[in-house]
Amino acid sequence: MRYVIREKFFHLGEDSVITDDAGTPRFQVDGKLFSLHDQLLMRDMAGNEVAEIHRKLIALAATYEIERKGVEVEMRKQLFSPFIDRYTVNVPGPDDLSVAGSLFEHEYTFQRAGTVIATVSKQWIALTATYGVEIAAGEDDVLILACVLALDLAEDREQG
């Protein structure tokens, strides 16, 4: 499935709309402007919360927690990884994800057990941050989209 994540141009915080490749809105993202730990709420179009993303305040490396359906997933940046940014997404069970890419080139891949399950590309032409996300069939779309939102938070924090 293909998605487009586009920040709203005239909003404070990290408000975004996630559409499918046909342009149909699928999710809304509400960024909490005055949150100490970069909190985002992801909702379906009916207004139901499907995920909460926030930065962990005390951690050696950039760490984001994603909570959905009462289950917490942690996305942690690897401390030493020259020339490329690497993250590990710790999910319950043996299905951890690895994310590799560049915050400067805005290109990422998500892998599970060495198999690419999603790719992310940021468009530079748009006035607002816009990501194209392609996710393999049968994958957890909400989890991967929430991780992309966390990557965007990490990018914003690193750029100051």
Tens digits of residue pLDDT in 68-124: 988 999 999 887 777 788 899 999 888 899 999 876 667 899 999 999 999 998 765
pLDDT tens, residue by residue, 12-28: 455 788 999 899 999 99
In the CATH scheme, what is the homologous superfamily, with its name and number, of domain 2-159?
A: LURP1-related (2.40.160.200)
Alpha-carbon distance of 37 to 63, in angstroms, equals 10
pLDDT of res. 79? 79
Residues with Cβ < 8 Å from 146, sequence gap 6 or more?
A: 42, 51, 53, 66, 68
Q: CA 53 from chain center: how many Å?
A: 9
Residue 52, class by beta-carbon neighbours within 10 Å (0-12 exposed, 13-18 middle, 19+ buried)?
A: middle
pLDDT of res. 153? 81
pLDDT mean over 40-44: 93
pLDDT of res. 107? 85
SS3 content of the chain, % helix, strand, coil (to 5): 10, 50, 40
pLDDT of res. 126? 54
pTM for this entry: 0.82
What are the φ and ψ backbone dihedral angles of 111, each rounded to 5 degrees? -130, 150
pLDDT of res. 128? 60
